[in-house]
Amino acid sequence: MTDASAIAAYWNAAASAFDEEPDHGLREAGTRAAWDRLLRRWAPPPPADVLDLGCGTGSLAALLAGAGHRVTGVDLAPAMVEAARAKLDAAGLPGRFLLGDAAAPPVGRERFDMVVVRHLMWTLPDPRAALRDWAGRIRPGGTLLLVEGRWRQSADAAPYVDGAAALPWTGGVLPDALRAAVAPLASEITLEDLTGDLGLWGREVDDVRYALVARMR
């Protein structure tokens, strides 16, 4: 079994260097602009209520807040939550960041116009249950934006956390499998291949990367 405290400890330790990856920190103007375009393409008109789950250091939350949305970020790792708060504060952007489990976000009965999740599904113990939970938090006709992938892993890569090999979508999830999991919850699903979009990643990538955008029932 993978326990949440081990996952939180891993990401706490990773938080200070997380933004060094071009697609994490979005420090280059071109990379930032590519993500901004992607988010503006799929987000409802601002101001919308947006929930960013597994928000990390808040790079996407900052873009969404900059576009005029009311953003709530949730992350399991306190150091990520602190980094996200600091990033938006430094930019003079509003945003609310909460410590908690993305699979059961600590937002009570609040509803959102869009839930955004980037690179989180692979580390959830029960990703299908999480999808069902999120569907109930999105207003009818609202949007679920999942930026996911299936990554190449070297056979000698260090283990992520104990028990991670047993996670249902360890290493990522292929688009058709994610579509099948979301389909019962959505009225319309669009898949956008992001693998060849160098602008988003700041470098060439040759694994599977995509966005799944669902209009919710």
Ligand X SMILES: C[S@@+](CC[C@H](N)C(=O)[O-])C[C@H]1O[C@@H](n2cnc3c(N)ncnc32)[C@H](O)[C@@H]1O
Query: Which residues form the interface with ligand X (CB under 6 A)?
Result: 7, 11, 24, 54-56, 59, 74-77, 80, 101-103, 118-120, 123-124
Q: Quick one: CA dihedral 78, 80, 84, 87, positive or negative?
A: positive
Pick 54 or 95: Cβ nearer ligand X: 54
Residue 124 CB, nearest distance to ligand X (Å)?
6
Contact 130, 185 (CB under 8 A): no
Residue 4 CB, nearest distance to ligand X (Å)?
6
Residue 104 CB partners (closer than 8 Å, separation 6+): 133
Pick 122 or 185: Cβ nearer ligand X: 122
Residue 54 CB, nearest distance to ligand X (Å)?
3
Pick 174 or 201: Cβ nearer ligand X: 201
Q: Which residue is nearest to ligand X (CB)?
A: 56
Which helix (H) or strand (E) is 114 found in, with range?
strand 112-118
Residue 75 CB, nearest distance to ligand X (Å)?
4
Pick 183 or 198: Cβ nearer ligand X: 198
Give the Cα separation of 69 and 46 in Å (integer): 5
Look up tokens 């989180």; give the residue.
120
Give the Cα separation of 41 and 213 in Å (integer): 10
